[in-house]
Structure 1
Amino acid sequence: MRRIVSLLCALLLILFATDCCAQGTPLLKDSDWNFHFQITGIIQAHPTFNAPYSGQNSLTPEGEKAFSVTSTIYLGRKLWKGAAIFFNPEMAGGRGIGSTLGIAGFPNGETFRIGNPEPVVYVARLFLQQQIALDKNDFEDVPGDQNQFEEKLPASRITLSLGKFGMADFFDDNEVSHDPRTDFMNWALMNNGAYDYPANTRGYTYGFIAEYIRPKWALRFGTALMPTYSNGPNLDFNYFKANSQTIEYERKYTIKTRSGNVRLLGYFNVSKAPNYDQVVEDKLSGVDTSMDVIYGKEYGGKKFGFGISADQELSRSTKIFARLGWNDGKTATWAFAEIDNTITYGIRVAGYAWKRPADNFGVAIITNGISSSHRNFLNAGGYGFMIGDSKLPNYGRENITEVFYQLYLLDHLWLSGDYQFVLHPAYNRDRGPVHVFAARVHIEF
């Protein structure tokens, strides 16, 4: 696979060089190339909070601060008719508070579940995309964006994507709450917290996506690789024993000229994820006292879940959103967040009323929960890859409120302030509450 990635990178460089060196042609044809860039820095901190006991995955009760940074280049090149290749090298460094441990709905969506603060460069995305027109008489204008050319596309089409990408690039979208670099920062707000979508530690996977797009609705299907172990950096290429299938239906509508979207999602994962009940039973019987759910011993772990995502425009300045998510919670979380059910909703207001239309103010509510099997596992002293306080005698839903203000400073530059109130961190009524403060700088063009 590394050889394939290297060959694709070389192909992209050859295409770039050919375009630049061609006699009698401009160095870059705007219609054939797509280029975007972003860099985001976040400093986040929490003061001391109440914690009568802690475990190895607990958020430290002493006050602390942490800094994270990511930077991404989004490069695209058109190939033959309807086809394009996209290449996104990315750099990430820093860490989250508590090394991204101790809160299931973690407050910083820009931090990965990695303890190493050293900046690292890696390939985030490298994929081919093919557009197939179903109606050659009806077109829509698509604005240019990251990994998206500004062009006219058939309003009815099939889109096929193959390669390395993030599943969240295609599924569980939401116009109000989906990007921690510009909007709400919490993990359970950037995606459906109960969607254990396939990804390595940094949030990417290899897969195939097929989209059937109509003017008012769309149907998507995706299949992708799972990590070799829970939150692992490497992907499991034993596809027939470890894979994920996702399907989503999206419906666009209007209410008195105001646009809205509803998305229904379902997924099914197969991996080495251990069964919580079996792990607890093995400990009690003395068969295996390790309670390890990180490194599965055998294939056969299954998880399925559902999600609903909706956003609605109320006025030119105001939009609202909501998400609901659920999974069976029988096997260990394998890729995203230790959340088995979630409800989120909120509002975002642009600053027209105070003569700053490019500013945004948002408020959102989160309530996360876990299954009884997951709960019993944690109370028995188990640890997932994000949470575990050594015991959980007093379970409570993890409730979070997030408030942010995004200030537009000048072209391509935004500064945001963010506050999150976390009640029952990691579902533990004995710990917290936690007050989390953050400042975010974001540049993109």
Structure 2
Amino acid sequence: MYFNPEVAGGTGLSGARGIAGFTNGETFRIGNPSPNLYLARLYLRQVFALGSETDKDDDDLNQVAGPTPRRYFAINVGKFSTADFFDQNSYSHDPRTQFLNWSLMSAGGWDYAANTRGYTVGGVFEYVTPGFAARFATTLMPTEANGPTLDFDYGTAHAETVELTKVYHLRGRQGTIRALGFRNVAAMATYNTAVRLAQLTGEQPDVTLVRRDGHTKIGFGLNAEQEIAKNVGLFARVSYNDGKNETWAFTEIDQSASLGIVSTGDRWQRPNDRVGAAIVVNGISPEHRAYLAAGGYGFMVGDGPGTGYVPNNGALNYGLEQIGEVYYSFALPTYHASISPDYQFVVNPGYNRDRSGPVHVVAIRLHVEF
């Protein structure tokens, strides 16, 4: 049984709005920036060995030290983050120690089931061998887009996720490729319906006016990592969702592609340091684009008419959102501590060429583990 209470507070730049690939994966879109204590994870994990061979696990986050079967079937039931089990990547997945950007910590087009703080309730089923793994999850969705409350009416709101993982070796260097698919069902609005209603009423389009039970969002993601030299690795992701219905949980990205490289500091006698550089390009569907161009807002992007960003009363000058990030993590001479300067630049924030840019974001991160 794993139990994680969590304390978090604060808010992102501009309330974590205005950039779809937002610049800090440790911020939430919550109204109250005061620190709050809440339940992050409470789940049961049962592992069934499928053979006598074992490996030794180290003590780690939500991982107990000791022997574990090399081949097993596992059931996980309770409250957790879907990203705990899916879309893993050795080089780009944890904003506490790796890249900060939202669309680098996870596949941007994967609208993964979660409440505002990133957690859900459900079950994950795993079949794992040394060279192959298959995972399936069925989980709850929030009651509203970016909402804090999960919808326990499973018949009308739920999410299914499946992922296949293959480990391989290329010229003696290990690589891993993951293929993910998902289907979300919730009371989402259809972008085209919101635009049509606005045309009839002469008002600004608003997705909250046309939400209906039973709408779906489907998509996929491909995720690869490859060691290219000792302690140096490449990673890449591509992801897509149909973009017909509104973004419900993660961020307003319908297509995304990223590429990056990460190295330790071995070559300059700093083996515990890390350095990483990556680029990511994000886009949205034609339906999503038309909604924003008509003056609509999502929970993260949208300029609307009369804001000064969009000329001609809402004629969006669409462009792909392009982001670059580089960080260096200095290992401090204490147990499990590091300090990481980080720099990001964003071109066409919120998919709008008429916004001034690029946006430059400089950050510094202190991380300590006990």
Q: TM-score range by the shorter chain?
A: over 0.9
Name the residue aligned to 1:420: 344
Would the alpha carbon gap of residues 226 and 385 (structure 1) be closer, same or farther in structure 2, given more than 3 Å must change?
Answer: same
Name the residue aligned to 1:327: 241
Q: Does 1:442 align with 2:367?
A: yes
Per-residue CA distance 1:123-171 (angstroms, 9 max, x = gap)? 0000000001111x22122222100111211111101000000000000
Name the residue aligned to 2:25: 109
Would the alpha carbon gap of residues 231 and 434 (structure 1) be closer, same or farther in structure 2, given more than 3 Å must change?
Answer: same
Would the alpha carbon gap of residues 257 and 294 (structure 1) be closer, same or farther in structure 2, given more than 3 Å must change?
Answer: farther
Per-residue CA distance 1:338-392 (angstroms, 9 max, x = gap)? 0000000100011011111111111000000000000000010100000111135
Letter in 1 for 2:133: A
- In 1, the alpha carbon distance for the partners of 2:315 and 2:179 equals 33
**Which of 215, 218, 224 pairs up with 2:139?**
224
Q: Does 1:363 align with 2:277?
A: yes
Indicate conservation of the 8 Å contact 1:225/1:242, yes or no.
yes
Per-residue CA distance 1:204-250 (angstroms, 9 max, x = gap)? 00010000111210000000000000000000111011000000000
Deviation at 1:316, TM superposition (A): 2.0
Letter in 2 for 1:120: N
Q: Secondary structure at the match of 1:278?
A: helix
Q: Secondary structure at the match of 2:273?
A: strand
Deviation at 1:108, TM superposition (A): 0.3
Per-residue CA distance 1:106-126 (angstroms, 9 max, x = gap)? 000000111321001100000
- In 1, the alpha carbon distance for the partners of 2:323 and 2:287 equals 23
**Which of 288, 291, 294 pairs up with 2:205?**
291
Q: Does 1:248 align with 2:248?
A: no
**Which of 270, 279, 297 pairs up with 2:194?**
279
Q: Does 1:198 align with 2:146?
A: no
Name the residue aligned to 1:141: 56
Letter in 2 for 1:141: K
Deviates further, 113-122 or 419-428: 113-122
Letter in 2 for 1:421: F
Deviates further, 368-377 or 139-148: 139-148
Would the alpha carbon gap of residues 96 and 314 (structure 1) be closer, same or farther in structure 2, given more than 3 Å must change?
Answer: same
Per-residue CA distance 1:253-302 (angstroms, 9 max, x = gap)? 1123211110000000000110001110111012x846332476420211
Indicate conservation of the 8 Å contact 1:230/1:295, yes or no.
no
Would the alpha carbon gap of residues 245 and 184 (structure 1) be closer, same or farther in structure 2, given more than 3 Å must change?
Answer: same
- In 1, the alpha carbon distance for the partners of 2:288 and 2:281 equals 17
Name the residue aligned to 1:97: 13
Would the alpha carbon gap of residues 352 and 320 (structure 1) be closer, same or farther in structure 2, given more than 3 Å must change?
Answer: same
Per-residue CA distance 1:168-188 (angstroms, 9 max, x = gap)? 000000000000000000000
Q: Secondary structure at the match of 2:5?
A: strand
- In 2, the alpha carbon distance for the partners of 1:290 and 1:229 equals 20
Letter in 2 for 1:147: N
Q: Does 1:409 align with 2:325?
A: no
Name the residue aligned to 1:351: 265
Name the residue aligned to 1:88: 4
Indicate conservation of the 8 Å contact 2:190/2:211, yes or no.
no
Would the alpha carbon gap of residues 392 and 343 (structure 1) be closer, same or farther in structure 2, given more than 3 Å must change?
Answer: farther
- In 2, the alpha carbon distance for the partners of 1:442 and 1:273 equals 37
Indicate conservation of the 8 Å contact 1:368/1:399, yes or no.
yes
Q: Secondary structure at the match of 1:361?
A: strand
Q: Secondary structure at the match of 1:161?
A: strand
Report matched runs for 1:52-71 at 5 Å.
none
How many residues are paired up? 359
- In 1, the alpha carbon distance for the partners of 2:54 and 2:336 equals 30
Name the residue aligned to 2:300: 386
Unaligned 5+ segments in structure 2 are 305-313
Q: Secondary structure at the match of 1:174?
A: coil
**Which of 36, 42, 51 pairs up with 1:120?**
36
Deviates further, 405-414 or 243-252: 405-414
Name the residue aligned to 1:9: none
Q: Which has the larger radius of gyration?
A: 1
Name the residue aligned to 1:57: none
Would the alpha carbon gap of residues 392 and 413 (structure 1) be closer, same or farther in structure 2, given more than 3 Å must change?
Answer: farther
Indicate conservation of the 8 Å contact 1:124/1:165, yes or no.
yes
Indicate conservation of the 8 Å contact 1:403/1:420, yes or no.
yes
Per-residue CA distance 1:417-445 (angstroms, 9 max, x = gap)? 00001000000001121001101000013
Q: Secondary structure at the match of 1:353?
A: helix
- In 2, the alpha carbon distance for the partners of 1:295 and 1:282 equals 9
Indicate conservation of the 8 Å contact 1:202/1:233, yes or no.
yes
Unaligned 5+ segments in structure 1 are 1-84
Indicate conservation of the 8 Å contact 2:243/2:284, yes or no.
yes
Q: Secondary structure at the match of 2:78?
A: strand
- In 1, the alpha carbon distance for the partners of 2:209 and 2:276 equals 39
Choose between structure 1 and 2 for higher RCO, CA contacts under 8 A separated by at least 6 residues: 1
Name the residue aligned to 2:308: none
Deviation at 1:393, TM superposition (A): 2.2
**Which of 297, 308, 319 pairs up with 2:222?**
308
Indicate conservation of the 8 Å contact 1:229/1:295, yes or no.
no
What TM-score does the superposition give when structure 1 sets the normalisation length?
Answer: 0.79
- In 1, the alpha carbon distance for the partners of 2:205 and 2:2 equals 42
Indicate conservation of the 8 Å contact 1:195/1:336, yes or no.
yes
Name the residue aligned to 1:429: 353
Name the residue aligned to 1:269: 184
Letter in 1 for 2:332: L
Name the residue aligned to 1:70: none
Name the residue aligned to 2:307: none
